[in-house]
A = this chain, B = another copy of it.
Amino acid sequence: MLWEKQYQLLAQVLADKGIDIERVKDKLKKQVIELPSWAVGNSGTRYGTFREEGAAITVWDRIDDCAEIQRVVGICPVMATHVLWDVTEDGKYEPVREYAAEKGLRIGTVHPNTFMGQQFKFGSICNPFADVRRSTIEHFKDCVRIARELGSKTLGVWLADGTNYPGQDKLRERKHRLFAGLKELYDAMDADMTLLLEYKPFEPAFYTTDVMDWGMSYLMCTKMGDRAKVLVDLGHHLLGVNVEQIIAVLLDEGKMGGFHFNNHKYADDDLMVGSIDPYGLFLIFDQIIEAEEDNVDVDIVYMLDQSHNIEPSIEGIIQSVMNVQKAYARALLVDRRKLQEARQNGDVILANRTLMEAFEIDVNPLLNQVRVEMGIEPDPLLNYRRSGYAEKIARERKNKGANTLGG
C-alpha cells in the first residue's frame, strides 16, 4: 500500500527531527474519547428534526451503536451518559452498566438533566422558586448514586439556567443560588469523584446565562474545591474567543477538567469537531501536549458532544473521532526543541512556522499504522460502511421516534 511507504518516509523525517515515532504511536493508542450516548439518536434544531432510519431509540440501541463505533475506531471504550435516557424502563442503571460491559464499554461521565421539564422555565438551581431549586438538588444527589451504580467517577454538569430579559431576575441572587446548588452536589459526591462544570454564553437563555464563560466556571470550581474542574465545550464560546489560551490558563491552574468536542462557525452549531477549524483543534492539543511535556499534571476527560442534523449519526461520530485523532497526532509531531529555540531567539517567523509544519504533516498514514497495530482496519469509516451495520439497524429499529417535522 502506498500509505505504508508514506508512513515509512514519515518515520524517517521524524527521526531526523529527533521525534520517536514509536512513542508517538504509543500515545495515540492510549488516547481515549468518550462517546456520547445521546448523539446516536436523532437530533435537530428548533425548526425540527430529520429522522434517521436507524437512529437509536432505546438505551440498548445506544450501547450497541457505541460498541460498533468502538469496534472501528478502537479508542472509544467509554460511553458518556445522560441520566434521563440511559436507564431501563423500570428505572434501573446496573443493567445498563452490565450490558455496556458485555459490549466492551464502560460508563464515563454522567450528565444530570436540568432542562427537560416544565419546572425549569426560570432555571434549575438558579431558579427564583425554592421548590425547583430543591428538586434539582435532589436530582443532583440522585445522579451521584447513579454514577456509583454505573461505575463512573465523573459528573458533567451543564446548567441551562439564565434569563431572557433585563430585569427578569436579580443576577447576584442567581449567583448565590448557583453556588449553593453546586456546593450541595459537590459535597454529596464520593471522595474520588470529580465534578466538571460546563459554561455556555447563551442558548437556551438569551439575555444572561448563569455560567456564561470560563471565568464563571473557574470561579465556582475554585469555591467548591479541588475536585471541581472546568468543562470546555468547544462550541460554547462567542466568536473571537481564543479557546486554546483558555485551555492554557486552566491547565496552569489545575482546573482543566474535560472537553465536549464539536465545531462551530456561528453559535453552538454542534457540527463535527474539526470540520470547520481543524487548525484551531490542533492548537488546543498543542497546549495540552506542551503542558504534558512540561510535566504539568494533565487529567482531562475527552468527550464528543455534537448534533448530527443531516449526516448519519454513527458516521458523523466516526469521522469526528478521526478528526480528533488527527489533531492530536499532529500536535504530537511538533518539533518542540526547534520551537523552543525559535522562541528564545525572539524568532516569531520560525516559531510560527515550526508549529505550522507539524500541522501540515499528513498523519493519515501514521494513524493507519496505529490502527493496524491495534488490530483494526486502517479506515474506520469504510470499515463501518462495509459492515452492513447501518442497514441492519435501519431494518430492525423501524424508528418510531417523534416526528417533529410534520411530513
Contact = CB atoms under 8 A, between A and B. Distances in A.
Interface of A: 2, 5-6, 9, 12-13, 16, 44-48, 50-51, 84, 115-122, 128-129, 160, 164-172, 175-176, 201-204, 206-208, 212-216, 218-219, 238-242, 244-245, 248-249, 251-253, 264-267, 269-272, 275-280, 283, 286-287, 290-291, 294, 296, 307, 309-312, 315-316, 319, 326, 339, 342-344, 346, 348-349, 351-356, 359-364, 381, 402-407
Interface centre among A206, A249, A361, A362, by most chain B C-beta atoms within 10 angstroms, is A206
Interface centre among A44, A212, A267, A342 (most CB of B within 10 A): A267
Contacts of A359: 278
Contacts of A9: 2, 5-6, 9
A407 B115 CA distance: 10
B290 A170 contact: yes
B343 A45 contact: no
A116 B407 contact: yes
5 contacts: A2-B16, A44-B204, A51-B118, A118-B407, A278-B279
A62 to B, nearest CB: 17
A118 B206 contact: no
A312 to B, nearest CB: 7
B6 A2 contact: no
Contact of A121 (B244, B271, B287, B310): B310
Number of this chain's copies in the complex: 4
Contacts of A353: 167, 319, 381
Nearest to A49: B46
Contacts of A202: 240, 265-267, 269
B201 A248 contact: no
A166 to B, nearest CB: 5
Given A277-B280, A311-B349, 10 more contacts: A118-B403, A166-B244, A168-B343, A171-B248, A171-B249, A212-B245, A218-B219, A310-B348, A316-B349, A362-B362
B207 A242 contact: yes
Contacts of A244: 166, 171
B296 A206 contact: no
B252 A175 contact: yes
Given A84-B406, A316-B349, A172 B294 contact: yes
B252 A203 contact: no
Ordered nearest first, which 3 A-B pairs have the shortest CB separation? A215-B215, A117-B407, A167-B355
B47 A160 contact: yes
Given A9-B9, A214-B215, A356 B238 contact: no
